[in-house]
Amino acid sequence: MNTRRVHRLDGLEPDNLLAFLALLGLLRAIEESCPNWIPRVRWDVNRLPIRPVLSVSESVDMEMIVTAIADGLNSLARYHDFNDLKDLTLSPADATKKLHTAVENNPYTAGLWASLISNAATDRKGKKVKPTPLCLLFGQGHQHFLSYLASVPRETEPPARGTGRSKTKISETQCLKEALFSPWKRPDKTKRFRWDPREDVRYALRATDPTDSKTKETTQHGANRLAAIGLSALTLVPQIRAGEIQLGVLGGGRDRNGDFIFTWPIWCNLISLATIRSLLGHPSLNDLMTRKELGIFECRRTRRISAGKFMNFTRAESI
C-alpha cells in the first residue's frame, strides 16, 4: 500500500473549466467526509505538464482518497433536490422564497442556491431572475440544467462501457480515480454541463467537422459529479453595469464586448477551498506584483461562446 500525504492529480488540466470546478468539488467533498484531513491544493508548475497537487494531513493511498471523496459526494448530493424544477427560470418572488428556505436548511444548501440565482438581478421585464452565467442549459436538446444538477451527483456509476460480452462495469471509486489521477479519455455516456472545452462543436470555415462525434456524445462522469458539487463555491454577486443590475460570480467578469469570461489563478502555495474563493474574488489579480505577493504563477481565462443554439466554454488562455 503506497501511502503518502501529497498526491498529484494528473487528470485535472489547468486550462479546462470542468477540471477546475472538479478541483473545487474534490476539496468540498473531502471537507465533508474527512475534515480532519485538512485538504489543501497547489499547482505543480515546476513539472510539466502543470497539474494540481493535493495535500492532506494524514498518510493515505489513492483508494482511501477516492473513497473519502465518494463519501463526501454522496453526502452532499442529497441536498441537490430542486423539487422537480428543470431549469433556472424563476420569478423574483419564487427566487426569494428559494433563497430564504435554503438559508434556513443548512449551509451547503444556502451556498448552492447562492451560486445559482440572485433575486436582485432580473431580466429587463422583471419577470425572471438571471441564472448563474455558468448555466449553459435551458432546455435546448432536452437538456435541463437543474435536472442535470440534481441527477449527476447522485449517479454514482456510469453505464457499463463497451458492447456485448466486452461490456465492463465501472465502480464509483474507479470512475473518480480516472477523473483525478489519469489523463481523460471521456468514455462515459452520461449527462454533462458543457463545461468541458472538448464539447465545443464550432467548425466555421472548415470543410468538415473537426471534432470526433463520439467525443461530443461522451464525457468524464467522475469529473462532472465533482464539478456539480464544486459549483456551490462560486457565489453570485449582483453588480451595477451600464446602469443595470447584472449578475456577477466569483471569478467571473465581462470583456469589452460584454461576453462572459471566467478567470482562475494558478497558485504555488498549499491553500484551502476558502482561500481559493478569496483569490477568485481578489480585485487585483491582473497586477503582476500582486500575483507575486500571493504566490500566483499565472492566471487562466475561459470565454463563454455560442455555437448555434448551444453554448460552451473555450480552453482557458494564460493571461
The C-alpha cell 465501472 sits at 170
Distance between alpha carbon 82 and the CA centroid of its chain, in Å? 19
Residue 259 DSSP class: -
pTM over 0.85: yes
Q: CA separation (Å) from 281 to 60, 123, 236, 246, 278? A: 32, 25, 11, 16, 5
pLDDT by residue for the chain (319 residues), tens only, comes to 688 999 999 999 999 999 999 999 999 999 999 999 999 999 999 999 999 999 999 999 999 999 999 999 999 999 999 988 999 999 999 999 999 999 988 999 999 999 999 999 888 888 999 999 999 999 888 899 999 999 999 999 999 998 887 889 999 999 999 999 999 999 999 999 999 999 886 654 445 555 544 445 899 999 999 999 999 999 998 888 777 888 999 999 999 888 999 999 999 999 999 999 999 999 999 999 999 999 999 999 999 999 878 899 999 999 9
- Alpha helices by DSSP H, listed for 106-144, are 107-114
Positive/negative CA dihedral, 45, 46, 48, 53: negative
Question: What is the C-alpha to C-alpha distance for residues 199 and 186, in angstroms, rounded to an integer?
Answer: 11
- For residue 139, the model assigns a pLDDT of 87
Contact (CB, 8 A) for 123 and 130 = yes
For residue 68, give the nearest of 197, 172, 212, 157 by alpha carbon.
Answer: 172
- Give the CA diameter of the chain: 62
For residue 19, give the nearest of 298, 266, 306 by alpha carbon.
Answer: 266
Cα angle 239, 243, 246; round to 5: 30
Question: What is the C-alpha to C-alpha distance for residues 290 and 317, in angstroms, rounded to an integer?
Answer: 20
- For residue 204, the model assigns a pLDDT of 46
For residue 28, give the nearest of 68, 58, 59 by alpha carbon.
Answer: 68
Distance between alpha carbon 25 and the CA centroid of its chain, in Å? 7
